[in-house]
Structure 1
Amino acid sequence: MYAADVALLVVDLQPDFMPGGALPCQQGDAIVPGIAALLASRHYRTVVATQDWHPADHVSFASQHAGRAPFEVIDLHGHAQTLWPDHCVQGSPGAALDPRVGWDVADLILRKGTDQQVDSYSAFRENHGPRGGRPATGLAGWLHERGITEVHVCGLARDYCVLWSAQDAAISGFRVRFLWELTRPVSSANDAATRIALVEGGIEVVG
């Protein structure tokens, strides 16, 4: 068992990010058994899971922008925004947490991306705010108050939500371990850049 000050963060392990889903990660389902076993082992005394939870008219959906296609990048509120296929719509089957994992051990399930006007990759902060800042989700404070000093991160997608969550965890003052083999990307073409970003962020990459 890990020390009491170490937490596991499982990011967006949802059907829409699996093969056959609305926004599939490459081999996204391959990490489910490993994460399920990790939670079942109860090696972590604190477990947090995030859940992408978008309104049906979310601004990040290409369907909300006439003439635009998924994966195009637009300027939104002064920031670059990738447009995505509709995914993880609130209450839809694709937005559920993967049923092959025993989520009863999770101490907190954090829903993100609920603001219609703002995308949310990170578990710790929105992508941007109305005045250029990135509003906090409150997760850092919750972890700090529980005495957590180190966060281990896994889930989907390696090159977006898991990466941003790991970076923001480090910025928030936690030691961070990135469980590479328990993540999968939207595109493996981003793997080299992801590793560089993790190293630059002082994040330990395992695997």
Structure 2
Amino acid sequence: MPPLPPNSALLVIDMQEDFCEPHGTLAVKNGRQIAPLINSLLSLPFKTTIASRDHHPSNHCSFASQHPGEKPFTSSHTIRNPASTSPDSESQTTTLWPDHCVQGTKGCELIPELDATKIQHIVNKGEDIRVESYSAFGPPFRKPEVSMSGLKALLTDAKVERVYVCGLALDYCVKATALDAIRAGWQTYVVRDATEAVDQSEEAVGAVMKDFEGGGVKVIGSKELLG
């Protein structure tokens, strides 16, 4: 087994029932099947291991059900930074989704195939009904920051230098988390075979890879860690 670089962290993104077949309201094809590989990664001597969860209130703004006449997957909603008073405040346009990962429901739970005993911390995101948060760090608003998850503090306190990202889904929450991690100054790697995309077409996955390349995120296979 190759040596794991010191001061490394593993981020396991949104391995929840609602993102997995057969019953998830927003299931990613083959999402459940990556759990054994993630468990193998969790067995490595990371400085810290952190899982994220979507943890939505039932009236979250990303749910199509909260926007009369709108439909999941095809409708969208523009959100402005609720903490800003500027007329030119930051904005985010998000797809509207079926209700998912609602607090206190089965769909919000981490899947049992994931070995949660190897996870040191869990951070919740998407708890503020006003904002969407694909990234495990929190919503994309920075002027000022709003409803951040506490992930940055956990990584900083652990003196992490390098971050490895896996989980669901490659083209949404994994992508947003990895790009946020590198913007925050961490060397960042996505473990490609330990993640699956919502849109698994070659074109869509290729676009994500270009975003990673442009942002400085490196994409690796699990063999580079596990041998």
| 1:73 aligns with one of 34, 52, 76 | 76
Deviates more, 1:172-181 or 1:94-103: 94-103
User: Looking at CA atoms only, which structure, 1 or 2, has the larger radius of gyration?
Assistant: 2
2:189 is the alignment partner of 1:186: no
CA displacement at 1:38 relative to structure 2? 2.1
CA displacement at 1:36 relative to structure 2? 1.9
Alpha-carbon separation, structure 1, partners of 2:117 and 2:5: 20
Aligned residue for 1:180, secondary structure, equals strand
Match of 2:38 in 1: 35
2:184 is the alignment partner of 1:172: yes
Asked whether the equivalents of residues 4 and 46 of structure 1 are also in contact (C-alpha less than 8 Å), the reply is: no
Unaligned segments of structure 2, at least 5 residues: 81-90, 222-227
Divergent runs of 4+, >4 A: 131-135
Instruction: Give the structure-2-normalised TM-score.
Output: 0.85
**Superposition pairs of residues 33-182 of structure 1, within 5 angstroms:** 33-39=36-42, 41-71=43-73, 72-77=75-80, 78-128=91-141, 136-182=148-194
Alpha-carbon separation, structure 1, partners of 2:186 and 2:172: 19
Give the aligned residue type for 2:172: Y
Give the paired residue count.
205
> What whole-Å deviation, never above 9, does each CA across 1:86-135 have from its counterpart, x for those lacking one?
00000111110111122122121001100011111101131337x67565
Alpha-carbon separation, structure 1, partners of 2:165 and 2:60: 26
2:198 is the alignment partner of 1:198: no
Aligned residue for 2:192, secondary structure, equals strand
Alpha-carbon separation, structure 2, partners of 1:140 and 1:128: 15
Give the aligned residue type for 2:77: I
Instruction: Give the structure-1-normalised TM-score.
Output: 0.92
Asked whether the equivalents of residues 32 and 113 of structure 2 are also in contact (C-alpha less than 8 Å), the reply is: no
| Identical columns (%) | 39
